Structure 1
């Protein structure tokens, strides 16, 4: 590829190389294979490596390093903590002024960053309630290769530590509402929308035994109404090579479940974003909504 400035510029124009941070590059092929979360994580790591100080990575950037979910996409800048009065953002960094006594900090390898519980609560102070629940649920959820990042008690302790600061009431409400049982961002977001629209709280991940003896766990179950709810998140059926088999298996599963209950609701990401559509889907399945709930 060559090593001159002209060669580098040519590779960047052709998308053979992609810029992660000034002076840090990745091949275009490798970049295109990465999802948005891994792309942002690389940007965070590259940006932190470039600074001579030891910044405390926080908010969305800490969430990416911990492997948490976010709703609405990743930012373009790297979040770091700054001493009070030194919270101005510049270049690749977004600086958050903070009282160090209110923040728990740890290390992940060589990187200094906020603890998982602190990270969730920091995000909860700056984003809408539903978005924050998505991140909180992901932190509480056990991962295939390890346990959960946080406990509810740790979230509540972190919420108490920032009490009285802007957004702290919302953070405390997130800590109380969060669940370890929501298995995807769409499930978490949907839980909030249901509660806001006055629908009764569902049982999460309830098991049903199918005729062949297999156990089918459903996203949402309302036993008083006999209604099952399923949220179809992106990528639920895998890649193209297995999608057809997975869709057919899911259809057979759904057909059998429908025969055992009174109502069945299924919705997509777009449905959850539209209050009217989600309400229609749930009511059409047989659910009844009551008094709406308002979150901070």
Structure 2
């Protein structure tokens, strides 16, 4: 899901601009202490109320603008920062660090800072575009970039979110991977390419798909349609093992927000979801497994429980 972006144009105020307006450094410091201004990073500020109103993602976007305001004009947002600028849901990446790459090849990347990683590499004209008023790496290039930062699960989630949002195609991603096969970290890219699936609809589903792979579970079928005796679609479950008579639903905040009807309370939604689960069980005769975000902290236990349900189904006990 791509999040609508807040317009951040003109919000960053540099120290030199504040000084030009008549303020002194001691006055700027007092405004920061009084929570009138928020220091985003050294030499860059924003109205404190504005900062407090922003989401974590939009704070990263504002930090990125503060970085670019003092960086070389050829600096583009890349890696994680490019994806955040696109409104792509991520997991596991710290958002207090901005990632950039310069488009003028042959120049030194610059020194890594606490809040800024200027990457080396060649970013050609075909690999970048302007988005929301800033220069960013393309979706497919960004997808490849984040897979090199370490961790299959984090990279897989980013790639799946881009694929599901139709921000790129699988062919575009594999072309980037092939073009940069000698980059450090590209072995992770190869595994992500193998596991990527555009059908998954949320970060929670991405994480369960990866859990199933890591724990050696039978590969489930995502977004499985359940139809009644007349062939009418009555539900689409998150994952299913049709041959084993088991389906799985991930309970997360995004599902509640996406599927709750206008004016429907959380209790009403949960009751409707329970009736839906019962109906699916009655139509199919299958067993339902539900997991939550907290279950990802104990993947081995989750996998063990799923295997027990499958074994019981296979033996005819359930």
2:153 to 119, 130, 145: 130
In the alignment, the residues of structure 1 paired with residue 226 and residue 35 of structure 2 have an alpha-carbon distance, to the nearest angstrom, of 49
In the alignment, the residues of structure 2 paired with residue 45 and residue 281 of structure 1 have an alpha-carbon distance, to the nearest angstrom, of 47
TM-score after normalising by structure 1: 0.82
Query: Structure 1 residue 57 and structure 2 residue 77: aligned?
Result: yes
Larger Rg: 2
TM-score after normalising by structure 2: 0.77
In the alignment, the residues of structure 2 paired with residue 12 and residue 176 of structure 1 have an alpha-carbon distance, to the nearest angstrom, of 49
Deviation at 1:24, TM superposition (A): 2.7
In the alignment, the residues of structure 1 paired with residue 242 and residue 98 of structure 2 have an alpha-carbon distance, to the nearest angstrom, of 45
Query: Structure 1 residue 76 and structure 2 residue 88: aligned?
Result: no
Q: 1:210 to 1:273 in 2, by over 3 A?
A: farther
Deviation at 1:50, TM superposition (A): 4.2
In the alignment, the residues of structure 1 paired with residue 132 and residue 215 of structure 2 have an alpha-carbon distance, to the nearest angstrom, of 43
Show CA shifts across 1:87-124 (max 9, x none): 52136421111134698222224322211011011110
Contact 1:266 1:281 in 2 (8 A): no
Q: Which residue of 1 aligns with 2:56?
A: 36
Unpaired runs of 5+ residues, structure 2, are 1-21, 313-318
Q: Which residue of 2 aligns with 1:203?
A: 221
SS in 2 for 1:206: strand
Contact 1:210 1:216 in 2 (8 A): no
Unpaired runs of 5+ residues, structure 1, are 143-147, 289-296
2:276 to 253, 264, 275: 253
Q: Which residue of 2 aligns with 1:230?
A: 249
In the alignment, the residues of structure 1 paired with residue 229 and residue 274 of structure 2 have an alpha-carbon distance, to the nearest angstrom, of 15
In the alignment, the residues of structure 2 paired with residue 287 and residue 115 of structure 1 have an alpha-carbon distance, to the nearest angstrom, of 46
Show CA shifts across 1:189-229 (max 9, x none): 11111011111211111122369966321110111111111
Q: 1:101 to 1:31 in 2, by over 3 A?
A: closer
Q: Which moved more, 1:38-47 or 1:177-186?
A: 38-47
Show CA shifts across 1:125-180 (max 9, x none): 112101111000000013xxxxx100000010000011111111211221232111
Deviation at 1:181, TM superposition (A): 0.8
Contact 1:227 1:262 in 2 (8 A): yes
Query: Structure 1 residue 95 and structure 2 residue 107: aligned?
Result: no
Report how many residues are paired.
280
Contact 1:124 1:170 in 2 (8 A): yes
Query: Structure 1 residue 104 and structure 2 residue 127: aligned?
Result: yes
1:171 to 163, 182, 189: 189
Deviation at 1:234, TM superposition (A): 3.0
Q: Which residue of 1 aligns with 2:45?
A: 24
1:271 to 295, 312, 316: 295
